[in-house]
Amino acid sequence: MSYVMETYSRLPIKIVRGNGCRVWDDTGREYLDMVSGIAVCNLGHAHPKVVDALTEQAKELFHCSNLYQIPLQEELAGMIAQHSFDSRAFFCNSGAEANEAAIKLSRRYCNTMGKRGAHIITFEGSFHGRTLATVAATAQGKFRKGFDPIPEGFIAVPYGDIEALEAAIDDRVGALMLEPIQGEGGINLPPKGYLKQVRQLCSRHAILLILDEIQTGMGRTGKLFCYMHEDMEPDIMTLAKALGNGFPVGAMVAKPYVAEAFIPGSHASTFGGNPLAMASSIATLKVMLEEKIPERTGEMGLYLMDGLMQLKTSHAGIKDVRGRGLMAGIEFDTDISSFNADGLDKGILLNVIQSRILRIAPALVITKQEIDEALAAIDTLLTEKGL
Ligand SMILES: Cc1ncc(COP(=O)(O)O)c(C=O)c1O
């Protein structure tokens, strides 16, 4: 019996240590980690510069209330603005909280400064978190089941279909929230140019564009942020997951004219922007930039995609392979949920989403040899399964 609530179906290993793209369980068994804590440890486990920054900060000050100035918040917010778009940041502790903050900011903007309603368009197959508002924004019924009454004010439209989006815009709509590539929904890439078209549509109708870069951000797709693949910028962007390379942290950044809708007292978080979280995030971002991790990810992503294409030619069970950078999916016709456990037998951590899609999201510091190792393990697994 466990005193922990059963909200997860957990695999039967206990991971106790990690380094780079590898983790070890309590028996000393090694695994190649192709999950990275679900796109979290982008610099790999126990990156020395992040470990140093965190331990040095821990010796100085764990926590400081937002009643006082926190210079590390200023530093991180400035770095994000300098390397994305002119923005002001609100710091929190997770992805759901970052999106919750984005929803609140957009509503406050629309209600106090905008000329339209405060409804938000979201997209079928999206995933934005597990708080009530983010579940409402997440247009996948399974995440809402049993949680009625669900907060109102969200309108779901098909992902990647610009006409359907335009048709859904009416006076009630003041914002739109989307993932540049849908992660939990199945590694769904929109058609090329879609983000830019969405941007144009939002500008034309004076609708706020909120990009959820929680999974796609921090170098994952081969750019520091995924929107940078297209010539566009959001009005609000949310970050979490890899921002602190595993230290819990989230951020919601907004263009200054939108950020103005929050005034002292509008929103808050006890732990948000905690010095430990800020120190980890600053160190992570510095390594990303200094070591040109996004560029490297783009190259490794091409190498991975090449290998996945080869797998597809030798395994008829593979319906599709897709992805960008080191965010990839292998889609099957059949239920492959057992791969999560099957991978463990082969010494590899794998992650299945939507029952039929194998998500590949290793640390961005993965080597070609490690990619080869992962491809070989998947190849063997598929052969054994007759796929
Ligand atoms: C795109 C996206 N948004 C939001 C979230 C929620 O983040 P968290 O689990 O940190 O609340 C996730 C988590 O998988 C995500 O992939």
pLDDT, one tens digit per residue, over 63-95 is 999 999 999 999 999 999 999 999 999 999 999
**SS3 state at 171:** coil
Confirm or reject: Cβ of 227 under 6 Å from ligand 1: no
Instruction: For residue 52, tell me if it sits in a domain.
Output: yes
pLDDT in tens, 291-305: 999 999 999 999 999
Which is catalytic among the residues 33, 241, 332, 342?
241
The pLDDT tens digits of the residues spanning 127-173 come to: 999 999 999 999 999 999 999 999 999 999 999 999 999 999 999 99
Percentage with pLDDT > 70 across the chain: 100
Whole-number Å distance, alpha carbon 245 to ligand 1 midpoint, is: 14
Helix segments in 190-338, DSSP class H: 194-205, 256-259, 275-290, 293-314
The pLDDT-based confidence of 41 (bands split at 50, 70, 90) is very high
Residue 313 lies in a domain: no
- For residue 115, pLDDT over 90 is answered with no
Q: Is a pLDDT exceeding 90 seen at residue 9?
A: yes
The answer to whether 101 touches 252, Cβ cutoff 8 Å, is: yes
What percent of the chain is modeled with pLDDT above 90? 99
> Does residue 335 belong to any structural domain of this protein?
no
91 catalytic per annotation: no
Q: Catalytic residue at 127?
A: yes
Q: Specify whether the CB–CB gap between 46 and 251 falls below 8 A.
A: no
Ligand 1 pocket, residue 240 CB under 6 Å? yes
Phi and psi, residue 379, nearest 5°: -55, -50
Which atom of ligand 1 is the closest one to the Cα of 131?
11
Nearest CA to ligand 1 atom 16: 215
Ligand 1 binding pocket includes 165 (Cβ within 6 Å): no
Indicate the SS3 state at residue 216.
coil
Q: Give the span between the Cα atoms of 11 and 269, in whole angstroms.
A: 33
- Cβ of 96 closer than 6 Å to ligand 1, yes or no, is yes
Backbone angles phi, psi at 139, to 5 degrees: -90, 60
Is the shortest distance between the CB of 100 and ligand 1 below 6 Å? no
Name the band, by pLDDT with cuts 50, 70 and 90, for residue 114: confident
Strands (E), the chain: 15-19, 22-25, 30-33, 88-92, 119-123, 154-157, 173-178, 208-212, 236-239, 250-254, 318-324, 327-332, 348-349, 351-353, 357-360
282 Cβ neighbours under 8 A, 6+ residues apart: 53, 72, 75, 76, 79
Q: Say if ligand 1 is within 6 A of residue 217 CB.
A: no
Selecting among 90, 91, 123, 127, the annotated active-site residue is 127
Cα–Cα distances in angstroms (integers) from residue 194 to residues 200, 224, 240, in the given order: 10, 19, 24
User: Residue 55: phi, psi to the nearest 5?
Assistant: -70, -40
- What is the per-residue pLDDT for 243? 98
Q: Which of 33, 90, 212, 247 is catalytic?
A: 212
Cβ of 220 closer than 6 Å to ligand 1, yes or no, is no
Residue 179 CA to chain centroid, in angstroms?
Answer: 8
pLDDT score recorded for residue 217: 98
What is the 8-class DSSP label of residue 266?
Answer: S
Report pLDDT digits (tens) over 243-275: 999 999 999 999 999 999 999 999 999 999 999
Q: What is the domain range of residue 196?
A: 48-290
Closest ligand 1 atom to Cα of 248? 10
pLDDT > 90? residue 323: yes
Residue 381 in domain: no
Active site residue 241: yes
Q: Would residue 354 count as lying in a domain? A: no
Question: Quick check: 279 and 54 in contact, CB under 8 A?
Answer: yes
* Coil, strand or helix at 241: helix
CA of 240 to the centre of ligand 1 (A): 7
Radius of gyration of the chain (CA): 21
Q: 113 CA to middle of ligand 1, Å? A: 28
pLDDT of residue 94: 98
Which residue, by CA, sits nearest to atom 9 of ligand 1?
95
Instruction: Quote the distance between the C-alpha of residue 266 and its chain's center.
Output: 26
Q: CA-CA distance, 123 to 179, in Å (whole number)?
A: 9
Number of domains in the chain: 1
Q: Please report the atom of ligand 1 found closest to the CA of residue 184.
A: 16
Q: What's the sign of the alpha-carbon dihedral 58, 59, 60, 62?
A: positive
189: DSSP letter? P
Q: Is it the case that residue 373 has pLDDT exceeding 90?
A: yes
Query: If you measure from the C-alpha of residue 99 to the centroid of ligand 1, how many angstroms do you get, rounded to a whole number?
Result: 9
pLDDT value for 202:
98
Cβ neighbourhood burial of 75 (10 Å; 0-12, 13-18, 19+): middle
Q: What CA–CA distance (Å, rounded) separates 168 from 63?
A: 45
- Domain of 280, CATH number, reads 3.40.640.10
Query: Average pLDDT of the chain?
Result: 97
Residue 258 φ then ψ, to 5°:
-85, -40
Distance between CA 120 and CA 96 in Å, rounded? 16
Amino acid at 130: R
Task: Check if the beta carbon of residue 35 is closer than 8 Å to that of residue 349.
Answer: yes
For 168-212, write each residue's pLDDT tens digit.
999 999 999 999 999 999 999 999 999 999 999 999 999 999 999
For residue 338, how far is its CA from the centre of ligand 1 (angstroms)? 23
CB of 190 closer than 6 A to ligand 1? no
